[in-house]
């Protein structure tokens, strides 16, 4: 059964949020975590494996906005048909995380694509209808519309029932992770970006977006643990655009974060990367799964840094991870199955563009031949750092 919590709708999460704030006040740099069972919310005796899926950048260019308007029959914007092809996978997971790269414009518009995005807020309803529980909102475009854009985006996600992490409307909200529940576990999502395209938050609102800092990420993860989180997922907007391979900064940060431990256990259980616009490798680093780049999920026909149309910008993956309860003598949940599903934002089909689950389409036997080529290219990149030897698979 799916489950989610936003930080303002349930008493249990309010209690966790209060504990987070208390911990933050007590120590700004996150000392070693307390004993694993301290601070736990009641009702966690029944524990079972759960699946978590994550996907890449939602980046509505002008052409995508136009397509959503056509899908709404010219009256408003409907992004649900665009995502219908991956809904079976997303909605079947116990928890699902998206990356909302852009901020939203006012309800009546105007709406704009690149270079300064202001997306229709109706996309939040589509995200929820597809089955997502939470979205990371920290990206280089978080401040495209200033603080009003941040506020509009989070208000719309709240109204749709989608939790969020990475940007904030208040100092208190900036300290809170998205808190989700599945399998009797509390899952904390944290999110950060490398920067904001040179735009600064208002001087009196420096907390409006989370900027990546390894010490802060670890401190936030430890605070979440002390407040009751069993699993900590970190969403990172990082890397070099249009580069298939993770760059040196990604690799270094992945090693640093996955090496961090408290009481002998990892502080971070999963890292989900976005920003590069192309799929990048999955890799097990210090025993923890890292997705360097999910690729784009929703985007227009992409132009790379050389000014050329680049089909890789419409390719991505769905990462699916099965977490199992702690073994006897252990306090930590662990990933017992890791999978990836290649996907494509298909602009070459007849009719409006659609996000395609390539494995599902190819299984039907009538998919275009190019789908197999795209799937195989994505698979080659995803497995390029030896993830297959560590157990990463893709359903066929």
Where do we find the tokens 């990546």? Answer: 212
The residues near 202 (Cβ < 8 Å, ≥ 6 apart) are 146, 147, 208
**Cα 42–Cα 43–Cα 46 angle in degrees, nearest 5:** 140
CA atoms within 13 A on the CB side of 291: 33
152 C-beta neighbours (distance < 10 Å), count: 19
* Torsion angle, alpha carbons of 329, 330, 336, 338, to 10: -170
Structure tokens at 145: 């519309």
Distances (CA, A) of 353 to 54, 83, 184: 21, 10, 38
d(CA 289, CA 265): 15
Taken in order 67, 73, 78, 80, is the CA torsion positive or negative?
negative
CB 300 within 8 A of CB 64: yes
114: left (phi over 0), alpha (psi -120 to 50) or beta: beta
CB 302 within 8 A of CB 277: yes
Backbone φ and ψ for 200, nearest 5 degrees, come out as -105, 145
362: left (phi over 0), alpha (psi -120 to 50) or beta: alpha
Structure tokens at 330: 């252990």
Nearest-CA neighbor of 38 among 226, 305, 258, 263? 226
Q: Which CATH class is domain 11-390?
A: alpha beta
pLDDT given for residue 366 in this prediction:
87
| pTM > 0.75 | yes
Nearest-CA neighbor of 133 among 182, 64, 78? 182
Q: What is the pLDDT along the chain (396 residues), one digit of tens a residue?
A: 343 333 333 333 334 444 444 444 333 333 333 333 334 444 456 899 999 999 999 999 999 999 999 999 999 999 999 999 999 999 999 999 999 999 999 999 999 999 999 999 999 999 999 999 999 999 999 999 999 999 999 999 999 999 999 999 999 999 999 999 999 999 999 999 999 999 999 999 999 999 999 999 999 999 999 989 999 999 999 999 999 999 999 999 999 999 999 988 999 999 999 999 999 999 999 999 999 999 999 999 999 999 999 999 999 999 999 999 999 888 899 999 999 999 999 999 888 999 999 999 999 888 999 999 999 999 999 999 999 999 999 998
Structure tokens at 242: 């249009």
**SS3 of residue 199 by DSSP:** coil
Distance, CA of 156 to chain centre: 17
């Amino acid at each position: 059964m799916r489950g989610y919590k936003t930080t303002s709708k349930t008493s249990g999460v309010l209690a966790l949020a209060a504990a987070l704030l208390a911990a933050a006040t007590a120590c700004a740099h996150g000392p070693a975590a307390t004993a694993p069972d301290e601070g736990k919310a009641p009702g966690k005796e029944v524990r079972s494996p759960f699946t978590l899926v994550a996907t890449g950048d939602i980046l509505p260019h002008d052409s995508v906005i136009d397509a959503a308007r056509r899908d709404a029959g010219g009256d408003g914007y409907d992004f649900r048909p665009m995502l219908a092809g991956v809904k079976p996978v997303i909605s079947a997971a116990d928890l699902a995380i998206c990356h909302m790269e852009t901020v939203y414009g006012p309800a009546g518009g105007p709406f704009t694509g690149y270079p300064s995005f202001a997306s229709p807020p109706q996309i939040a309803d589509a995200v929820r209808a597809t089955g997502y529980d939470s979205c990371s909102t920290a990206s280089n475009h978080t401040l495209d519309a200033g603080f009003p854009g941040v506020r509009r985006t989070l208000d719309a996600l709240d109204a749709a029932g989608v939790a969020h992490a990475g940007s904030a409307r208040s100092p208190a909200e900036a300290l809170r992770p998205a808190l989700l529940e599945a399998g009797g576990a509390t899952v904390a999502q944290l999110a950060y970006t490398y920067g904001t395209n040179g735009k600064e938050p208002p001087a009196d609102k420096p907390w409006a977006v989370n900027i990546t800092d390894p010490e802060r990420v670890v401190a936030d993860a430890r605070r979440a643990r002390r407040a009751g989180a069993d699993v900590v997922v970190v969403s990172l907007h990082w890397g070099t655009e249009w580069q298939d391979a993770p760059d040196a900064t990604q690799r270094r940060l992945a090693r640093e974060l996955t090496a961090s431990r408290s009481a002998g256990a990892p502080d971070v259980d999963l890292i989900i990367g976005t920003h590069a616009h192309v799929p990048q490798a999955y890799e097990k680093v210090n025993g923890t799964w890292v997705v360097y780049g999910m690729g784009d999920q929703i985007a227009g026909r992409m132009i790379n840094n050389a000014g050329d149309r680049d089909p890789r910008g419409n390719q991505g993956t769905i990462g699916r991870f099965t977490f199992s309860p702690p073994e006897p003598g252990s306090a930590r949940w662990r990933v017992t199955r890791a999978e990836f599903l290649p996907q494509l934002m298909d602009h070459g089909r007849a009719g409006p563009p659609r996000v395609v689950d390539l494995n599902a389409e190819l299984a039907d036997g009538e998919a275009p031949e190019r789908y197999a080529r795209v799937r195989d290219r994505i698979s080659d990149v995803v497995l390029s750092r030896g993830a297959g030897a560590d157990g990463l698979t893709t359903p066929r």
